[in-house]
Structure 1
Amino acid sequence: MTVPDPDGGPGKRDPDGGSGERDPDGGSGKRTYAPDFLTELFRNPLDPGYADAAARRERTGGRSGTRKRVAGASSAVVLLLIGFLLVVAYRQTMEEEPARTQARQELVEQVERRREETERLQARADKLSGEVAELRERELGETAVAQLRDLAAAAGLETVRGNGAKITVADGPTSIDAVTGERRTDGQVKDTDLQLAANALWSLGAEAIAINGERLTVTSTIRQAGEAILVGVRPVTTPYEVVAIGPAKLADEFRGGYAGQFFDTLSDRYGMSFDVAEVKNVTLDAAAELKLRAAEPSVAPPAPSGSSSPAGSLSPVPSGSASEGGR
């Protein structure tokens, strides 16, 4: 009697035809792999639970009898509740609409009343300003009134007319930084640029300066607020026109001075627009009335009216056409 050898003796059959090598995959001769998750997901997208429910519904024929009636009643109750909530919301909205309309109308009426009141007060202020000018001229005399006008013109509180220069500066093209992708503002006019132009004009003998119509005084500020430039409290935008009344050669001296060379450099490097022109008989409006916290009398006596306004330079406009600040 022959006993089979457990290690492949004569009593064991070799599936590989007696080669003596075992198949690492269990002797089947075919490799098998575990299903890939994505492959299985796309092959069977439906969850097994949904598949079982669908199969059970096909076998049983779906809901019937009491269960079907209960489900229909539940759906009807839910739809009825949703419709009730929509009706309530609609009625509340319609009830609140008249109140909002009334509030809006009241605000509009208030704005109109305040506008009419402002116009009435402005007309009264202009009338009183004219009366003050007449009383001043009658009580003080023409010489004193002329001196007051000259002082007001020098302080920026009187509308003036004369010859001078106009400096126009505008923003250059905007570029994008190739590394960061941010917008570069090198070609934009800064508050320091306008400060430089104004200081240069003052140093060259300018007697009155306005930036985009905003008259400069001893208390005026030129500052940056984000991307906007404020002259006093009012924003100005490009192109920036700096108009000055002063000596006859004010434009030529500005163009040939350090300020003109500075703006030429900005124009060549960043593409900013820069131009200097001579102006004749230009009018600058008065600034708003100054609000000083402290003041001291001037040590030097005021100059005579005949010498304070050089010929062809600064000339106060008569008080009848002066702005509010010239009172």
Structure 2
Amino acid sequence: MSGDGRPGDRPEGAVPEETAPEDAAPEGAVPEETAPEETAPEGAVPEDAVPEDAAPEPRNDVPESPAEPVAARATPPRRRRSSLVAASLIAVLTVLLGFAIAVQVRSTDTGEALEGVREEDLIGILDDLDAQEERLRAQIADQRADLRELSDSDSQAAAALEDATSRADSLAILNGTVAAEGPGLVVTIRDPEGQVRVADLLDAVQELRGAGAETMQIDGVRIGVSTAVTGTPGALRIDGRPVEAPYEVVVIGSAQDLRTAMSIPGGVVDRVGRQGGSVDIEQRDRVVVDALRPLDEPQYAQPDPGD
């Protein structure tokens, strides 16, 4: 084999580079400058004319085209949430529709079942329903009564406390341990000659109590259940405290009744007048009895344990 470069001297089977056909390219190789199909020159060889063994194999490392279908891309999160909400609404509506159909079917079945029942049986069913309704009404009434009782428990306790307080105030007024006010009289017994006796003052207290006097005081001394009038004319004492004429009696009660009791014939006014004295009675819409007396402590009496 000679090296002068003549064609006859080349190795057998060698092909010159400039005359090598395109179909002789190695299998799988892609030509560097391949013209697109739409720009192929006139007279180009069709694709079906190229042998199958010379077609280039597809490459796996080629990036996807920007014109990739939308369905192939990932679904956005907002669209997925909308799909879930729609599916949930459809499920809820399906359940509600099924419930309504079931109720309708049951109602239809009940009506059809009652169509074949005898009149006597229908009357019995109606009576049972009426009895059940009465029982339910009675239970409702009992429950409402219990509810009212529970609701009124606080009001009843408050009312009981108010009543107890009122009773305590009344007893305190009668015992003379609290001040009191109200309509009544102011009676002034004058004794210029010093002849008014213990009995005259006691009669005045008894007449006023009998006429409905609720509480009173004489010369600043509160009159109670155990009040005692002692002394001699001109030197009288009430519960050990000396009092002097004119004796002022302040009393609370019905003013008209009290005045009538003091003015009856042979009463206090007449007796004081026969002894040289006089009695002035003044009726008022409001008088104040503010003298207090200590509460007497029982020395022998004790509460009954049986009460």
Report which structure shows greater RCO (CA 8 Å, sep ≥6).
1
Same fold per superposition (TM over 0.5): no
TM-score, normalised to structure 2, is 0.43
Point out the structure with max Rg over C-alpha.
2
Q: Please, what TM-score do these two structures have when normalized by structure 1?
A: 0.40
